Amino acid sequence: MDCEATRRLVEADVDGELDLVRHLEIETHLAGCSACAGLAAALRARHDALRERLVRHRAPAQLAARIADALAVPRPMATAAGRRPERSRLLVLQTIAIAALLVLAVTLGYQWGASRSRSGSLIAEAVAQHVRSLQADHLTDVASTDEHTVKPWFAGKLAFSPPVFDLAAAGFPLIGGRLDRLDDHPAAALVFRRRQHAINLFVWLQNDRPALAAREQRDGFTALAWTAQGLCFLAVSEIAAPELTVFAEAFRAQAR
Q: What is the pLDDT of residue 182?
A: 82
Q: pLDDT by residue (tens digit) across 193-204?
A: 999 999 999 999
146, 237 contact by CB (below 8 A): no
Q: Is the pLDDT of residue 111 over 50?
A: no
Q: In the chain, what are the domains?
A: 3-54 (no CATH), 57-256 (3.30.200.100)
Under the banding of pLDDT at 50, 70 and 90, the label for residue 51 is: low
The rounded mean pLDDT for the chain is 79
The sheet carrying 215-218 orders its strands as: 142-143, 174-182, 185-194, 197-205, 231-237, 221-228, 215-218
Q: Is the pLDDT of residue 143 over 80?
A: yes
What is this structure's pTM? 0.56
Q: Is the pLDDT of residue 117 over 50?
A: no
Q: Is the pLDDT of residue 145 over 90?
A: yes
